[in-house]
Chain A
């Protein structure tokens, strides 16, 4: 296994370097073939590792690569750790990444900068693999920052667009706020345990669960403070409430990027971290309560915002944020297996939804506003069925008595049962928020489907469609038509009614090319079967996890012992959400408009994402610039320089001006001064 894991991790790096540096000299096709080929090889090698763990044949191993830092007691190296938890992440990352590479052949076909795009994608994959194979916290941080860099570069891929640049910067800087917590967590861990090696820390953690440490002048429980600091890092990367603001903006990146980074892999890194460190978190009750609360709150918050957005990608982005909340509160109540299971299934159906959305956007000539969609079911049937599979999976369609359903049915139900079965008040709180969010999930997912694929065509008013119709669809009138993705935002603040002018404007949507449809098909299979196939192993098997996460046997029993109504809750709210969406967007399309009129304030609050961006702008961004200017003009120039060197210079100048007056060059004045001097000297001597 050691050779294959080295290939799995480093082949994408090699491809990224060749593709990135070879860029123009190699040409589009060569770079695309190299990077995509590398990813398919990685993927092909990852599945056997995962299946080996599934059958119990493979045992966990660490493959050392190189020393990194040795400083006193602090030693850490580059090494690749493979155990069950890593193996799960390996298949998720390499599979989605390989499919996204393939999909991008079609989606980015018209872009002039394709080699750069593919090199970034491969670089991202490498960093993500380094993250999940980390054997110490610092290498995990390396991967953590590496994916952050790749995310920054890919969000800002269309660097000519100011909005893309802002979004890229925002993603990096908001993540850095989380990283502050992560770094402090690593420092604290080193202080307490004298090492950054994850297995050593996990082993030593229970003995430290009663220890206290000084932190900011007060004494606190050591494990709580460490876990909360590390979790702040997870909050940044996984876009949890408070540090979530970058994720919706990250949709400025090309859609394949959204599918790979901002849905399936990078944003789940926080969940992975909490699961990886689960024995440590289990020694920190306050930290776990915090994790549960933040997870549940994010779950609800993002779902509420998702219900009123018009941009198809933003709806899915908020949905991602909300689903991550589920994973976190599952971890918070101790159901790490359920958290990882939802991560696993979510990767397939969310990547599918994003790539499906990309296919719709592709078909609609880069229009992203759902108000200009409608009636696409017959026009792009394959995309429709793929999106349908994704929607059935995310809303959790399934039949309890048969133990059969789409992917989300298995994983989301398990999370709700765990929260309820945990038996604490916080568990109850998470359960109810989770259940209500499931209703909203069902509502916004079906709303998306109904607005896009049902009803009558509303394409006529879309600028993109008009552009396509007037200029001929495939005419390369712009260097990069894909760059217009998201340019339709101007219309966002119109009266939010789906009753736009109807009509096709003579436009004919076209189904996407095969390179885009194959990934949709593969991911559809995942969305349909991943839950059913693997639920046994992920949820109920201590042998499968084999100590790579904290396995909570008592909680598993409690989950199974929950009352029937708890087990059916998810299905009931799913049906309710579907019903509401059907009434509002199929049966009587005037309902949403009336609702907005009635509850304008609430709608604005949700539509503006609870005003987080405005708040942060006022309390962080503007004051930073204000203070910067004040420090510079009043501090440096008006204070230090004025009284320091310039003041000294002024004094010298004054002094020399005084001295100059004495050196007039007139003989009589010298004589006078001499006389006065002599008189003074004599007087002094005589006295």
Chain B
């Protein structure tokens, strides 16, 4: 890609846009923000198109040493590429979603969003540990402002809870980073990913990073900030929170915890599995009893993210790739579900499920989109949700059938809470006149939802486009994890094959031969009991 510093450009464009927006009136700010994000989307597509699949591990590398070993180093691999593409794809949608809903301080709002875009791209592109830390933590600030200024009635409590939780984790992470740089003598992430820390130290470092990533993810039991943050955030804030910010935790695990501390990761895999299993059951059941639409979707996010964590810690290719696809898919689908909530919130100004009903009558187009995203959230094959969930769970099955069964119950519970939501909102009778009078999707809303719907189907039917760029990086990570991969409790032991098919009836007259076959079956039964004793 010639000499074009495309990553820096992708940071620079939103920076300029953000500064300009501060000084503009409401409408001009909206247009500027939209144009800026669309330029960045174009750059993101260019990035994807010119990414050399199967080429160097780190591409589009830029490096500028600054001071004290700290450098401005950018570069991406396939994993970062896909997450950057997801982010720039969702940004214009967020601006569109805020078009009519945000009426005061529009300039500052748009500016906050563009800053956020800058910081998110920075997180995924940073190759220097401290640069990463700065982007990672600074990302909190615009989100904090978006919730705290443009949020709902209880926005102060939500924003403070959000800040408190995430800050707690990051302090520990900073200490761990300082120690790592001191030990390894570099803050360059690609080198650190190959560096072997002493196993005893790894445990502490792993926990320090875990504290931060588990909150971002969020994992049970540090998830309680998420429902409040979502409920209070404006629609676009929820979209970006669910779509991109939650991915920072998963990205952290895959970029730092797994390659840098493989021994510790293997040792604490069961902690991850346990928390994830609890999360799937617990948050799914909580989602079932919610009466607030956004809270319901927020809790479902926690359950979906648990599938990501089990996939990551399965230590095999299906698990890792599945986890990445779940992240991408969840970014699209839950973002879209929050948009769907936003569409009707803009009309009726309530998130109370009971206020709606029968929307299929007056909003048929909306009902179709909502159905598609509901099904994608449930993981219907043909949508993106299935591919990720399937690979992730297939990966974990190779480690433990028990964890798989518990986590797969998520497909039943997920169907229960999402269909229950859909039924109450879209089906049934029109209970309220104001809800019955709501108009169907307008052009702007259609423009927000249609691209996400297309992407959801694309990822579900032909996920190769998304898997291919990541394949090599996942393989490298898998190779690094191979030596610590846990012993499978579902290992196969080959025995003597049965002499004939179970229902083989050999004798001409049936009865006697069938008796033989029955005998063979009995032997096989005995085999099970005998093997069980091992």
Interface residues of A (CB under 8 A from B): 20, 23, 66-74, 78, 138, 141-142, 145-146, 149, 152, 156, 159-160, 162, 165, 168-169, 172-173, 176-177, 179-180, 183-184, 186-188, 190-192, 206-222, 224, 279, 281-286, 288-289, 333-334, 421-425, 427, 550, 552, 554-555, 557-559, 561-562, 624-625, 627-629, 631-632, 635-636, 640-641, 644-645, 648-649
Contact = CB atoms under 8 A, between A and B. Distances in A.
9 contacts: A74-B394, A146-B381, A159-B360, A187-B404, A191-B397, A282-B502, A421-B514, A558-B509, A628-B287
A591 to B, nearest CB: 41
B503 A187 contact: no
Given A165-B428, A557-B505, A645 B225 contact: yes
B495 A212 contact: yes
Contacts of B518: 423-425
A561 B510 contact: yes
Given A142-B381, A173-B416, A289-B521, A284 B402 contact: no
Contacts of B464: 67-70
A20 B227 CA distance: 35
Contacts of B494: 208, 210-211
A219 B286 contact: no
Contacts of A557: 505, 508-510
Given A169-B420, A213-B491, A286 B394 contact: no
> What are the 6 tightest A-B residue pairs by CB atom distance, in nearest-first order?
A334-B503, A558-B510, A423-B514, A210-B495, A72-B317, A554-B505
Given A69-B464, A180-B409, A187-B397, A220 B528 contact: yes
Interface in B395-447: 397-398, 401-402, 404-405, 408-409, 411-413, 415-416, 419-420, 423, 426-429
Contacts of A222: 492
A635 B220 CA distance: 11
Contacts of B504: 282, 334, 552, 554
Interface of B: 160-161, 164-165, 221-222, 224-225, 227, 282, 285-290, 316-318, 321-322, 358, 360-361, 364, 368, 375, 380-382, 386-387, 390-391, 393-394, 397-398, 401-402, 404-405, 408-409, 411-413, 415-416, 419-420, 423, 426-429, 461-464, 467, 471, 478, 488-498, 501-515, 517-518, 520-521, 524-525, 527-528, 531-532, 534
A186 B287 CA distance: 28
Contacts of A67: 462, 464
A630 to B, nearest CB: 9
A72 B318 contact: yes
Contact of A66 (B286, B380, B412, B462): B462
Contacts of B409: 180
A152 B375 CA distance: 11
A191 B492 contact: yes
A177 B416 CA distance: 11
A146 B382 contact: yes
A424 B513 CA distance: 10
A214 B286 contact: no
A386 B354 CA distance: 47
B404 A210 contact: no
Interface residues of chain A: helix, strand, loop or mixed (majority): helix
A187 B282 contact: no
Contact of A285 (B364, B393, B510, B520): B520
Given A212-B531, A557-B508, A631 B462 contact: no
A284 B419 contact: no
B488 A214 contact: yes
Contact of A145 (B381, B401, B498): B381
Highest count of chain A CB atoms <10 Å: which of B364, B393, B419, B426: B419
Contacts of B495: 210-212
B457 to A, nearest CB: 12
Nearest to A78: B461
Nearest to B430: A160
Contact of B507 (A215, A554, A559, A641): A554
A629 B289 contact: yes
Given A169-B420, A552-B503, A645-B164, A183 B393 contact: yes
A629 B161 CA distance: 22
Contact of A70 (B316, B415, B416, B467): B467
A421 B461 CA distance: 46
B390 A177 contact: no
Nearest to B490: A214
A558 B381 CA distance: 43
Contacts of B318: 71-72, 74
B286 A180 contact: no
Given A183-B390, A187-B397, A282 B503 contact: yes
Given A69-B464, A70-B467, A283 B498 contact: yes
A219 B514 contact: no
Contact of B412 (A159, A176, A279, A631): A176
A159 B428 CA distance: 6
A101 B273 CA distance: 49
A333 B390 CA distance: 33
